[in-house]
Structure formats: C-alpha cells, structure tokens
Structure 1
C-alpha cells in the first residue's frame, strides 16, 4: 500500500484548496476537481471510473483494511493523507461523518460523449433544475430505473455541488449525465431519432396512454415555470399526470418518478 502523509494544520495549502472546492462552484470549474464525502459515494465513483486524486481520512474512524478495500479497485492509487479532527471538520460538509473525504477529478459531461447503447433508450431530460435536493432526487430515480442517461438542459447548478452528491446518495456517479442548452439537446434527440415527451399542462394526453416502448426522452421542467416554449414546440407528445386535488403540479422529482416507472412498466420491467 502507498505511503501515508499526515496533515494536522488547518492552514495547510491542500486543506485550503479542499475548503474552496467545497464552497465555490467557480473553483470546482476552474480546477477540474471537486470533493466528496462518504464510503458509499467513493465506492460508486470508483466503480464508475472516476479518478480520485487524494483521500483525507481520520485514522481513528477508518482502519487500514477499510482504506485498502476502498482504494484497491482504483487504477490510479490516490494519495493517502491522515488528518487531525480539526482538519477533518474544516474540510467536511456533513454533520455526521464516516471519516473519509476524497478529492476527485471531474468527468466530461458533453453531449458528444453521451453514449446510447440500447436500441430503444429511455432518457430523462430536466430543464433548468436549480435546487440540489431536486436534482439529487432525480438522479436517484434515474439510477433506480436504470435509465440510459440523464441530460440537464440549461443547468443552473454545478453537478458536483456537495449537496447534490449528498442528496443523490452518490447517484451522480452511477448515472450517465450530459449537459447542454435546450437547443443543443433537442437537436441531439432528433438526430438520434428519440421521441420527446414533455410534461406539460397544455395540449397533453394522459401519461398512461402514451407509448413509451420506443426510444423516448421524458422531459420535465421546474415547478415554478414548467418547460420553455422551445421544448413544447418540438415535443413529439405532451403528457400530463391527472390531478385530483386543488393544485395542478407536483414536485418535479415525484412527477419524473411516476412518468419514468410508467415507461418502465410498458417496457416489461
């Protein structure tokens, strides 16, 4: 196993870098790195071929065997740095801890790198999602349904925001994710001959009567504004979940879950 280093000062340059990566989206984009916390999240990242540069760990909470198990599958063994309790608390963003934080390299999330392997793919598209909790829930649902991928249109929030990683329970790593403008994504879907099903209130049919058995992208917008006109003008079919109460919309992650699992039901899963 590689040699361990030790950091006990919160003034250490690497500690300051980790804090900036936790707090500043601009720093994450500029450096190409982000930080994440937790054993399961690290395992999912490694399984999905993310490159972990550095592991900060509390030796009182994480033994040699656990540390070795976490790093054994990595093609590029990370630097291992034991840190004091004070340093760990400085870097950590969770109130509870498992004693390990990783410094990780970004992946490329362009549409050009979005791989469609299935003959009839099922994709989730979310336009301009902003709340980390909603994004995390969407990614958890996509993982649970084993979708072919998630595409975020006009992103407003950094996908490696620690709150997205936490709320997705690491599903930010297990899903294939791409980002682009609404125009770029519509062009991409049409080029791939993927039907566009927009969740909308107007010109819609009951979601349960739509045919999701062929290549399909389920497109959802924000609760506040819904989908932009550009999506509605390019929709193959607008779909709606009938409401029986006083309101006309649900949380975006709940709506997406209903639509996705109806599509999976139709596909025999």
Structure 2
C-alpha cells in the first residue's frame, strides 16, 4: 500500500511521534534501519513497518502480523531522523521491561545527552547489569538518537523511571550498596570493595550528581586518571565502572 499524501492519518500520527509528548500520548515510537527493526521484531513490539517508495523489505525481515506500508520518497525522508536513512522503519509499542533483579543497577541523575544515555544503556547490557533507573531530568529514552545509540539494547534491558531520592532509600532498605560518583569526598574505584548487590549513580554532564543525592549514598567513588585530564565523559566513566563490577 503506497501512501502519497501528507494528509493521510497514519502519516500525521507518524510525524507526531518525532515529539516526546506524542510518543507518550500514543505509547509508540519509531526505529530506523534493518538492525533496529529486526531487534524490535524479536522483542515483539513492532506494530507497523514502513518502507521507502520503490523499495522492498529486506529478506531478513519477516513482518508476520504487522501491517506494511510503502511511503512516498519525500515523506519517508521527512519522517526519518537521519540524513541518509535506510529504506525501512518500524512503529513500535512502548513496552519496557521492569527491573526484577537487583544485583547490579545503574542510576542516572539528569543525563541529558541522547548519545550518552544510549551508550550507557548499551554498556549496561554488555556488562551484565540488571537494569537502569532514570531519575527526573533525564533525556527521553525513546528519543531517536538514544535509540540509535543503544543499537537494540533498549529492547533487552530493564528500564524504569523514579525519583532517585526515594529509590535510593528503597535500595538501602533491601541491603543494596549504593555508590555515587564524585571527585569530592570520593574513594578511588580500585579501592572499592565488591558486594553481591550494588548500584552506581552517575550524574548530569555539566554538574554531576546532585549533592543531596550524593549525601544519601553509602560511599562515593571516582576513577583514577592522569593529571592531564580533569574528567571523563559520563558514558565513558559509567562504562568503566560497569566493566569493573561486571557480572
């Protein structure tokens, strides 16, 4: 079915999904490219598949019960979030996995760069973390740049959103050791004792973790570095910590 008009009701809805408020309203988001569409199909969250005019579905993609639409070239380019989009997209249902295991958790305070959040989610999967908790002020996990950065990790990782101050207290009540990240009043990463259940909190790219949250932790840590470098990008720092305490 070729759609050629921007007045088509589906096209109007798809275009709205480029904005967070409409993603929340429709409980849907868009992924682009063969790899992400395949990962979304594996996760059973695909509702519709969109292919570019004059294109065919890749052989690897079997839509089964999903409706497939072919979209006029100019509309497809307008809908895409990349400058040179691949020829397939999918409209997906928001269906995040809840956190059920708490041996290793990542807590994020106001991480606002989409690439940083996506990389942290991907590293969390790579190093066996059980889930990621997004505090207030974090970038939307369904932002198209976040999704691309995760390379599909968003479909396998348990992700929840909470007030971090409340969540930290809850973790402590369950005997989980909570660590903040700070150069001030922190201990070197290499000196930190490993516990069966641990949570690590990373903060905003410019200001780090809020002081009031750091005061709630069991201990704060920092990564030892050369004197030539003052700090690390939050996604790099988080990946190093997760690797150090990987499962």
Q: Same fold (TM over 0.5)?
A: yes
Q: CA deviation at 1:6?
A: 2.5
Which one has the bigger helix percentage? 1
Which residue of the other structure, out of 123, 126, 132, is the alignment partner of 1:141? 123
SS in 1 for 2:199: strand
Aligned length: 247
Q: CA deviation at 1:93?
A: 1.2
SS in 2 for 1:34: strand
Q: CA deviation at 1:64?
A: 6.8
* Cα distance change, pair 63–243 in 1 and its aligned pair in 2 (3 A): closer
Query: Distance in 2 between the 1:115 and 1:48 partners?
Result: 18
C-alpha deviations, 1:231-258, integer Å up to 9, x for none? 2222111111123224432100111111
Query: Distance in 2 between the 1:191 and 1:114 partners?
Result: 16
Q: Quote the residue 1:11 is aligned against.
A: 7
Q: CA deviation at 1:169?
A: 1.9
Q: CA deviation at 1:97?
A: 2.5
Q: CA RMSD in A?
A: 2.0
Q: Which runs of 5+ in 1 are unaligned?
A: none
- Say which is worse superposed, 125-134 or 172-181, in terms of deviation: 172-181
Q: Quote the residue 1:96 is aligned against.
A: 84
Q: CA deviation at 1:196?
A: 0.4
Q: Residues 153 and 185 of structure 1 are in contact (CA less than 8 Å); yes or no, is this contact kept in structure 2? A: no
Counting only pairs closer than 5 Å after superposition, residues 99-118 of structure 1 correspond to structure 2 as 99-108=87-96, 113-116=98-101
Q: Quote the residue 1:47 is aligned against.
A: 42
C-alpha deviations, 1:68-97, integer Å up to 9, x for none? 2xx24xxxx221112221221121111222
TM-score (norm 1): 0.84
Counting only pairs closer than 5 Å after superposition, residues 74-93 of structure 1 correspond to structure 2 as 77-93=65-81
Q: Work out whether 1:20 is the aligned partner of 2:16.
A: yes
Q: Quote the residue 2:206 is aligned against.
A: 224
Q: Residues 2 and 53 of structure 2 are in contact (CA less than 8 Å); yes or no, is this contact kept in structure 1? A: no
Q: Quote the residue 1:254 is aligned against.
A: 236
Q: Residues 223 and 249 of structure 1 are in contact (CA less than 8 Å); yes or no, is this contact kept in structure 2? A: no
Q: Quote the residue 1:166 is aligned against.
A: 148
TM-score (norm 2): 0.91
Q: CA deviation at 1:56?
A: 0.8
Query: Distance in 2 between the 1:105 and 1:161 partners?
Result: 14
Query: Distance in 1 between the 2:238 and 2:58 partners?
Result: 42
C-alpha deviations, 1:93-149, integer Å up to 9, x for none? 11222211111111257xxx3211x7xx11111111111111111112112212111
